[in-house]
Chains A and B, each alone.
Chain A
Amino acid sequence: MTDRSLILSGVLFALLLAAPVLLPLIGESYLLGLIIKAMLLAIAAISLDLLIGHGGMVSLGHAAFVGIGAYTAAIGLENGVENILVLLAMTLAMTGLVALVTGILALRTSGVYFLMITLAFGQMIYFTLTSLAAYGGDDGLTLWSLATLFGSDVVQSGSGLYFVVLGTLFVTWLGIYRISRSRFGRVLRAARDNPERAEVMGYPITRYRLIAYLIAAMIAGVSGLLLVQHAEFVSPALAAWQRSGDLIVVVVLGGLGTRNGAILGAFFIVIVEEVLGAIIHEWRLIYGPLLVLMVLFAKGGLSDLLDFKSSRGTAP
C-alpha cells in the first residue's frame, strides 16, 4: 500500500514538473494557470488534512488563514514591501499569531463545538476583511505591483511562479507526510483516536493540537500569499466559510490522512468544475450529486480508488 501510493506521488510530481514543457508543445499552455490553481488548493488542503485526517479536528474556518495570508501580502505590497521573502515572513507571523489566539480558545472544545467555533472565528476574520475599506472592502483589491525576489520578477508569472508554487506544494506535501509519521504525528493521531488515553499516557494533547493548528494555519497563509501572486487580486471571499467547506470536500474526497489524498482531491475538484462548467451553465446541479456518489462509493477517497488493495488509509 505504502509503495503504491509512493509511486503515485512520483507520477504526480513528475507530471507537474513536466507540464510547463509538455503543455506548450500541444498548444494548451493556458492549462498551466488551472494547474497553479489546483496546486494552491492542494497546499491549503494538505494543511487542513493535518488537522482533520491526522488530528481529528474538523475546522470549518481554515480558509480564513488563506485570506489572512493573502491580505497580509496584499497590504504589504500596497505599502511598498516587495521582497517575497519579507512578505512570506509577514504572512507566517500574521497567520501564526491569529492561529495562536483563536487556537487556544477553539481547542478548549472538540467535535461539533470545534467546528462551530472555527466557523465563528472564520466569519469574524471574513467580516474584518470586508471592513478594510482602504483595501477594497467587500469588492477586494486588484494589485498593480507584485512581489519580487530581490528585485527580480521571476516569481511573478509564467513558469517562474509555476515552479515556486510546485516547490511549495512539494515541500508542504513532504513536510506533512513526515510530520504524520513522526513522534509528534503519532501523538496527534493518538489524541484523535482516544484523547483521554493519550493524555493519561503522558501527553498534554492540547499543546500538540495547538502546534498542529499553527502549522496548518501558516501553510494555508502561504497558499494565500501565492494566490495573490497568481490572481493579482484579493477579496474577502477567499476567507468565506464556503471556501472552508470546499477545502473539507477536497480532503474528504481525496482520502483523509492519506499520502496523496489532498492533491488528488484538489485536482479532481478543479478539473470537474472546469469540465462541467464548460459543458453546462448549471454545472452545480451535477456537481452536488456527483460528490454524494463519490462519498458513498469511495469511502476511503480517491487515493483509495487508486490503491486497489487497501481498505482504509487513516493509519500509515
Chain B
Amino acid sequence: MNTLEIQRLNKSFGALNVSQDISFSVAHDECHALIGPNGAGKTTLIHQISGVLRADSGDILLDGKNITHASVSQRVQAGLGRTFQITSILPSFSVLENTAIAAQAKSGSSMRFWRDAALETDLNETAQATLERVGLADRADSLAADLSHGELRLLELAIALAAKPKFLLLDEPMAGLGRTESAALVTLLSNLRGSLPMLLVEHDMNAIFQLADKVSVLVDGAIVASGTPDEVRADPIARSAYLGQGAA
C-alpha cells in the first residue's frame, strides 16, 4: 500500500515549468530520496505536497485519500508533516513550547480560551519525548532564538515529529550541518526509517545511500531517473545529470 502517491503533477511559474508531469509513489515502509541540482524544483514539489503552493494540475493522494485540494491544515490533520530547507521555527518560544504547539495541532481543538496551555501535561510530555528522540532534551527550556544552527535543524525535525505524522517530507535536513552533526542526524533518520515513510530531499550522497530505499532524480522539473540507489548510481542519465558532479 502506498502512503503517498503523486500523479502527473504540473506547476509553472510563468514560463518556468518547475514541475513537469511528476509521478511517483512512496510505500508505507519506504524512504524515497529526491535529488537534483539547485533550482531543479525539489522545494517547490515539497511545497505542493504540503499545500503551501497549489499544483496547476495532477493529484496528490495520502493513504489513498485525495488531498490535492485540501488546505495546509487539513493535510496536517490527514497526517502530513514537513521540515523546511531554511529553518523555520518560532523564535520567541522556548524549545519545548515550539514542540508542544506542534503536538497541540493534533490533540483536539485549539479553540480553547481559558486553560493555560503551558500546563497541559500531555502536550508537554509528547514534546519532551520528541525532544529526547532528536537529542534536544537538555535545551528544552532555552529560547529557540538562542539555539545553534545544528540545534535548530534538530528542532525543525522535532516540530515535524511532535505532530505524529503518517508521512514526513524532509527538505534538506542536513543543510549546513558539520560532518559529525550530519552523521548523528543520519542515524536518527535511519531509526525512523521503516516505521515512518519519508520523502527526503538531500544533496549529501552518503546520507542518501544510507537512508533511501528508492531515489528519483529531478532535473528542470522533470524526473529523469528513478530506482534503487545502486540502479540510479549506475544510470548514465542520472550520472550525467547530477551524480557526475559530486561523485568522486
- Residues in A lying within 8 Å of B, measured CB to CB: 178-179, 181-187, 189-190, 193-194, 196-204, 208, 211, 314-315
Contacts and interface: CB of A to CB of B under 8 A. Distances in A.
Interface in B71-102: 71-73, 76-77, 82, 84, 88-94, 97, 101-102
A178 B91 CA distance: 22
A178 B115 CA distance: 7
Contact of A194 (B89, B113, B120): B89
Interface residues on B, range: 35 or more
Contact of B113 (A182, A197, A199): A182
Contact of A190 (B72, B93, B109): B93
Interface in B101-124: 101-102, 104-106, 109-118, 120
A193 B115 CA distance: 21
Contacts of B117: 181-183, 185-186
B196 to A, nearest CB: 17
Interface residues of B, dominant DSSP: loop
B92 A183 contact: no
A203 B94 CA distance: 19
A202 B113 contact: no
Given A189-B93, A200-B82, A194 B88 contact: yes
Nearest to A199: B72
Contact of B72 (A181, A200, A208): A200
Contacts of A189: 90, 92-93
Contacts, number: 97
Contact of A197 (B89, B94, B111): B89
A37 to B, nearest CB: 29
Interface string B48-74: 001010000000000000000001110
Contact of A183 (B52, B84, B110): B110
A182 B108 CA distance: 13
B159 interface: yes
Given A183-B110, A189-B93, A315-B92, A202 B116 contact: no
A207 B109 CA distance: 13
B45 interface: no
B163 A183 contact: no
A193 B101 CA distance: 13
A182 B109 CA distance: 12
B118 A181 contact: yes
A196 B88 contact: yes
Contacts of A211: 111
A315 B163 contact: no
Interface centre among A194, A202, A315 (most CB of B within 10 A): A202
B112 A201 contact: no
6 smallest A-B Cβ distances: which pairs? A202-B76, A202-B105, A193-B90, A183-B112, A183-B110, A183-B117
A202 B106 contact: yes
B113 A179 contact: yes
16 contacts: A179-B113, A181-B117, A182-B112, A184-B112, A185-B117, A186-B104, A189-B90, A189-B93, A190-B93, A194-B89, A194-B91, A199-B52, A200-B72, A200-B88, A204-B73, A315-B93
